[in-house]
Amino acid sequence: MLSGCPAPAERPELAPPDPPASGAAPGQPSWIPPPATAPRPAPPPPRENRLSPATQSLVTQARTLLARGDFDGASSTLDRALRIEPNNPLLWIERGRVRLGESDLHQAEGCARKALALAGADRAVQRQAGRLLADTLRGQGRNPEAREVESRPFMN
């Protein structure tokens, strides 16, 4: 029955693998160069937080209102600025200062913590937010927590 089929071709024997070339890892074929290790790029410099011209104008306006004792006006002006730049920690610090001035210590604490979270590696903003947080904690009678915040590396 198999007489009509051609005989299978003989398979040639496979040659043993070449020994690794210099620089090739054992078991890695010599015709593939080892992976190159590129130097890692330097990390970007810390981002400095700044206010845009529009938000800077609103902060100036809010500070003027605050100096006059108009906490509601200052607060609503800062709310407008936060709608423009909601992730700017400087605006959260300003808002926290208004809340502190109103003796709304829990809101001031929340603003300080938000600013600290958004500050990134900007040490100056971390310090400002840390001072605000320590002040609000101290105002709540939470002195050990305030001292702990003041002992953090970014506060020095």
Using alpha carbons, list the distances in angstroms from residue 119 to 29, 73, 104, 125. Answer: 50, 26, 22, 6
Q: What is the mean pLDDT of residues 53-64?
A: 96
Given a cut of 70, is residue 7 above it in pLDDT? no
Which residue ranges form the domains of the chain, and what is each CATH number? 53-155 (1.25.40.10)
The answer to whether the predicted template modeling score (pTM) of the entire model surpasses 0.75 is no
Q: How confident is the model at residue 48 (pLDDT cuts 50, 70, 90)?
A: confident
pLDDT confidence tier of residue 27, bands split at 50, 70 and 90: low
Task: Report the pLDDT value the prediction gives residue 20, as an integer from 0 to 100.
Answer: 54
Instruction: Answer with the residue of higher pLDDT: 156 or 145.
Output: 145
Which residue bears the tokens 């590396």?
Answer: 153
Q: Does residue 42 register a pLDDT over 60?
A: yes
Residue bearing the bigger pLDDT, 44 or 93: 93
Given a cut of 90, whether residue 110 has pLDDT beyond it is: yes
Question: What residues contact residue 127 under an 8 Å CB cut-off, 6+ apart?
Answer: 154, 155
Across all residues in the chain, what is the average pLDDT? Answer: 85
Confidence tier at 40 by pLDDT (50, 70, 90): confident
Compute CA distances 44 → 41, 48, 112, 116, whole Å: 9, 11, 26, 20
